[in-house]
Amino acid sequence: MRACIPLVLAVLCSLAWAEDHKESEPLPQPEEETEEALASNLYSAPTSCQGRCYEAFDKHHQCHCNARCQEFGNCCKDFESLCSDHEGFSHSSDAITKEEIQSISEKIYRADTNKAQKEDIILNSQNCISPSETRDQRDRCPKPLFTYVNEKLFSKPTYAAFINLLNNYQRATGHGEHFSAQELAEQDAFLREIMKTAVMKELYSFLHHQNRYGSEQEFINDLKNMWFGLYSRGNEEGDSSGFEHVFSGEVKKGKVTGFHNWIRFYLEEKEGLVDYYSHIYDGPWDSYPDVLAMQFNWDGYYKEVGSAFIGSSPEFEFALYSLCFIARPGKVCQLSLGGYPLAVRTYTWDKSTYGNGKKHIATAYIVSSA
């Protein structure tokens, strides 16, 4: 597959990929920032240690969060509160480097034996448009995106457990989520199945070695809170979760937000609920998983840019997004997959049930690929 436009991780690229960015709110929320706010967050000198604890020294920053900032008296004001004994890995020797992230992401990529093979999916990506055309809301593709999917994939344990979760949410934000005993059991079943895979074993082994988790059960418990714990997007308590946003999709103020999963897309398209409009990017991978950034209508609501892996297993996406959230919370996370670079942007959210509101909850989406 070949990119229809060259994309690199730069200001213009990131702005082109930004989702739901036209609204400006007093406190910017995941995927709803203005273009100016996004550029500021990514490329201007930050004044907080949020997501920066024990990062490498950068002379361009206004204040610092590295291991020696206290020695030099140039720490950010919130260094002590955010970075002191930060999640149990306060020493600079425990910081995860970019090279380590790229190395483990390659291992996860190679370990994804449950991914789709070339013959399992036939895509019809059709019309490629420029980023400037993404707001047009024009359907430039008369045919569905998926011509064929081998649904035998969905009988695999992790796929089946993943699909069981997709109908557990109200897609409209502002309505509190309440899980039944069966739905809570389905969350546990999904985590149990993915932890049997080589993908998640690779991730846990890496994070255990990095002193992030002392046991596999501690890791599983954290994943459950991180992804299935509820947070508030507005006045309604607990109306969203990381899993709902990233994998299932939501509707807020008449727009689609989140919805970054190919399985969800295929199932909704099959039911006639998703209408594929166009794409602005088709990744360089010649096998699955690949990456596609697309425009679509979900049952009457428009998605301006929805980036998603295509053909990956549920555990593969869950592992990469979790890796990025743990290693680079609230920042761009630079991965390497099959020799090609990929950037994922994570967001943190404080108004959550995760750690009684003292820990951040995860949302993530693909930013760009070179």
Residues with a known catalytic role: 245, 260, 303
E-state strands within 253-322: 255-257, 274-282, 290-298, 301-310
Phi, psi of 115 (to 5 degrees): -65, 165
- 364 sits in which H/E element: strand 361-369
**How many whole angstroms separate alpha carbon 200 and alpha carbon 206?**
10
> Tokens 């909704």 label which residue?
268
Peptide bond into 46 cis (omega under 30): no
Task: Enter the tokens of residue 314.
Answer: 């549920």
Q: What is the DSSP string of 192-261?
A: HHHTTSHHHHHHHHHHHHTTS-SSHHHHHHHHHHHHHSEE-SSSSTT-EEHHIIIII-EEETTEEE---B
Q: Quickly count helices (H) and strands (E) in the chain.
A: 12, 12
E-state strands within 99-188: 121-123, 146-149
Of 30, 28, 29, 35, nearest to 14 by C-alpha is 35
Terminal alpha carbon distance of the chain: 13
Query: What is the three-class DSSP state of 347?
Result: strand
How many residues are recorded in the chain?
Answer: 370
Query: What is the three-class DSSP state of 266?
Result: helix
Task: Enter the tokens of residue 142.
Answer: 């008369």
Asked if 230 and 239 count as a contact pair (C-beta separation under 8 A), the reply is: yes
